[in-house]
Amino acid sequence: MPELIETTVVRTPIAGAAMLSARDVSVAFPAARGGWIEVVRSATFDLHPGEILGLVGESGSGKTVTSLALMGMFRAGSRLTGGSIAFDGRDVTALDEKGWRELRGNRIAMVMQQPARALNPAFTVGRQIAEVAGRHLGLGRKQAWEHAVATLDRVHIPDARQRAKEFPHQFSGGMAQRVLVAMALACEPSVIIADEPTTALDVTVQAHILQLLRELVDDTGVSILYITHDLAVVAQLCERAAVMYAGEVVEVSDVVDLFERPRHPYTQGLLDSIPVGVEKGGRLRGVPGQIPSPGSMPAGCRFHPRCAHVLDGPCTTTPLELVTHDRGADRCVRSADLTLTGVSRGTA
């Protein structure tokens, strides 16, 4: 049994309609020799008002591609090949670029991983936030500037009025990340997609950013889709999680249930990989094998070549669908009869 890891999130009831819904969303990229390669298949999950939902999986599992699709953003000629996207009860799947631009920024915003790429080094951070506010909220120059200063103060940038006049290179990594959060908040969106915003930060700064995000949810009711490969972050921050593997959502669950009673073998593999107790002589275990590359997915369950519970036939022949149940959803034909080992709540 793995040692204990603390899940600090408070379980809150999820009620009402979803703020953002993905239903069987599939995304494909153009193949080098013609045709299309599917990189995300039938992704399905909901993000509710005032919720932080973790979208978790290894690098290459399709998390970022899925999140960009939810904002109508498609890179390198990729396209939506199936499914639907709804925002606040409205089907936005078929929006044109003008429609998506009106939605992005105003109602849904993104916090990227690397401030150096997301912020323009030639302009002060205040000007960049003010331009966003002016464009989307219709504010005049002076009003937009005051709004930018107030937003920087909201994310706890000390001496916000003076720092608004500074350039991105004058900010530390943690403070630059706060600037990106401020830019996302500038138009008071209903949904923020945070794409691994703390990966490049040290542990102490990461904790401050996570605390800031939780504070913003509690104060404003914004919904956050938090993309990460780190289940320890999910345990601290999120109410629920959707686990992705090889372009598919394989499990959706309340975070406490996910940690204590996983239903998909891949989820258990991720839990086994959490480095708890290593300093006390415990073993650091990983998921054997490698995630398959797009275009070379195995038949049947995409995880079956790495799975210790595989059955020849049910697991290896037919693509599996995400099946809902009273504890969430999973994509495993054996989930009802497997008793998988989780990680109990407590003190690590």
121 alpha carbon, distance to own chain's centre? 27
Q: According to the model, what pLDDT value does residue 132 have? A: 92
- Domain segments of the chain as ranges: 1-9+18-107+191-292+327-343, 117-188
Joined together, the tokens standing for residue 137 give 């909220």
Q: Helices (H), strands (E): how many in the chain? A: 11, 12
Q: According to the model, what pLDDT value does residue 16 have? A: 62
pLDDT over threshold 80, residue 52: yes
Give residue-wise pLDDT tens across range 95-108. 999 999 989 978 99
Q: According to the model, what pLDDT value does residue 282 have? A: 54
For 34-55, the DSSP string reads: SSEEEEEEEEEEEE-TT-EEEE
Q: Using CA atoms, how far apart are residues 189 and 205, in angstroms rounded to an integer?
A: 24
- In terms of Cβ atoms closer than 10 Å to its own Cβ (0-12, 13-18, 19+), residue 95 is middle
Mean pLDDT computed over every residue of the chain: 89
Residues 205-234 have a mean pLDDT of 94
Banded pLDDT at 228 (limits 50, 70, 90): very high
Give residue-wise pLDDT tens across range 182-210. 999 999 999 999 999 988 788 899 999 99
Portion of the chain with pLDDT greater than 70, in percent:
91
The answer for residues whose C-beta is within 8 angstroms of residue 306's C-beta and 6 or more apart is 266, 269, 287, 288, 289, 290
Please tell me the class of the 1-9+18-107+191-292+327-343 domain.
alpha beta
- For residue 106, give the nearest of 192, 46, 22 by alpha carbon: 192
pLDDT over threshold 60, residue 10: no
pLDDT over threshold 60, residue 1: no
Q: Using CA atoms, how far apart are residues 348 and 339, in angstroms rounded to an integer?
A: 23
Portion of the chain with pLDDT greater than 90, in percent:
74
Residues 210-231 have a mean pLDDT of 95
Banded pLDDT at 343 (limits 50, 70, 90): confident
Q: According to the model, what pLDDT value does residue 11 have? A: 43
Q: According to the model, what pLDDT value does residue 283 have? A: 57
Residues 151-176 have a mean pLDDT of 96
pLDDT over threshold 70, residue 7: no
Contact 128, 119 (CB under 8 A): yes
pLDDT over threshold 80, residue 275: no
Residues 72-82 have a mean pLDDT of 90
- For the whole model, what pTM was predicted? 0.91
Banded pLDDT at 144 (limits 50, 70, 90): very high
